[in-house]
Homo-oligomer: A and B are copies of this chain.
């Protein structure tokens, strides 16, 4: 399940924590076992304490973050930064190095700015999708956020992990604009046009004069992001949540190809999701192998009707496909949506998926999400389904799938589900996940994001030119964080002195 991981030095950590209490106040340094329990990996085996920190510190200001990195450098102790720690399937708040000081942004949770005219917000890392949604509703803004499946996560955290949502603004790495970053040496950097103090365009223009640094802080341990601009969607007059269902897997290729072309045309502007064996309310019966895809249309009424006719004609030309739709007019109607698919495609945050998960699998169930990237071609998606199902059966894992359709890729997500009270079942799931990562890589399907236990293994699959990307990341790590204080091991990037032996 994991190689033996480094541990933080106890004496250095104690000294660092004493200094942090002085800097931040006792109330921002949590150390009791009870308080820390919440910051463990929620989907690790319950009896394990492998991925646990020694304390959680909660900065409230950018200056607090700078104090934290100063102390960490002084005492040479590892930090592990997270936004809200709700990304359960990928490890939650838990660190890779046992005994790390966990840096929680839950208390840095202000929406710093909303510009209704130019349709963007500036948020701190602790702002949850719920918070921004509430803020926009309360302020009467004509703006929708893009949200992922669960509304409790951090906007910054999700975006920096290359997360996705399901409105036309669902490509979160592309709809962010303008980061503020505390580097490991405590210096403050603003990316892009934010590099000019007087600039009016920090959160409006994505490029830099000279190299663009923002990518360096995605899935990264090269800096700590303390502010982010996020582009928002103008609220449409009408919003249609549509779906198609079919039973014959043979139709899946045609459905994918049809949707890709509608996306290329600009008819469908959001990110559709193909589902198999996962619960939704749209007439699909997960028990009998039925398939569904959801999509959405937005705009003026007349236009949306014309768009819907085009989509319907195209999808109904595929034998066996049936269609459904629900329509929302005005922002109040959309905000009252209760169906999960309608909420996520309408930028309304919720917790339905985790509630269903608990209902179906029990309070102590965990899951790992195996998320790989392949071409958005019907033939390739069907081949991936075949491969994924064969792999799953071979490893004794039930095959379910959520396939997000991005502009040119299909993001194929399967959940491996287990009982976290059952050590053997849990370890078997982690083992199977690891085997499937390697099998997928051999077939050309990279996993683009992973849990803390598999970060090294996934990095290992990026093998081009003897792992040129990893070597570059290690060089950057040594340059920008010579003491290795920032989230050691994140995405398989270890600082000097902690790098695992490699063949």
A459 to B220, CA, bound (A): 26
A406 to B231, CA, bound (A): 13
Could you say which of A80-88, A145-153, A353-361, A369-377 contacts chain B?
A369-377
A19 to B326, CA, bound (A): 70
A195 pairs with B266, CB closer than 8 A: no
A220 pairs with B211, CB closer than 8 A: yes
CB distance from A409 to the nearest CB of B (A): 5
A234 to B376, CA, bound (A): 15
Residue among A216, A220, A472 facing the most chain B CB atoms (10 A cut-off): A472
Does A252 sit at the interface, judged by CB under 8 A?
no
A479 to B216, CA, bound (A): 15
A211 pairs with B200, CB closer than 8 A: no
B376 pairs with A196, CB closer than 8 A: no
Among candidates B209, B299, B374, B465, residue contacting A267 with C-beta atoms closer than 8 Å: B299
Among candidates B162, B204, B261, B303, residue contacting A376 with C-beta atoms closer than 8 Å: B204
Given contacts A196-B461, A476-B479, 7 further A-B contacts (CB under 8 A): A119-B264, A177-B408, A190-B468, A193-B446, A201-B374, A201-B375, A204-B373
Q: List 18 A-B contacts (CB under 8 A).
A: A119-B408, A173-B206, A193-B373, A196-B441, A198-B441, A201-B375, A201-B446, A204-B373, A205-B373, A209-B446, A209-B448, A210-B220, A210-B469, A211-B217, A211-B476, A216-B216, A475-B479, A475-B480
**Chain A residues engaging chain B, CB cutoff 8 angstroms:** 117-120, 162, 168, 173-174, 177, 183, 187-191, 193-201, 203-220, 222, 231, 233-234, 236, 257, 261, 264-267, 269, 298-300, 302-303, 306-307, 310, 373-377, 380, 406-409, 441-450, 458-459, 461-465, 467-473, 475-476, 479-480, 491-493
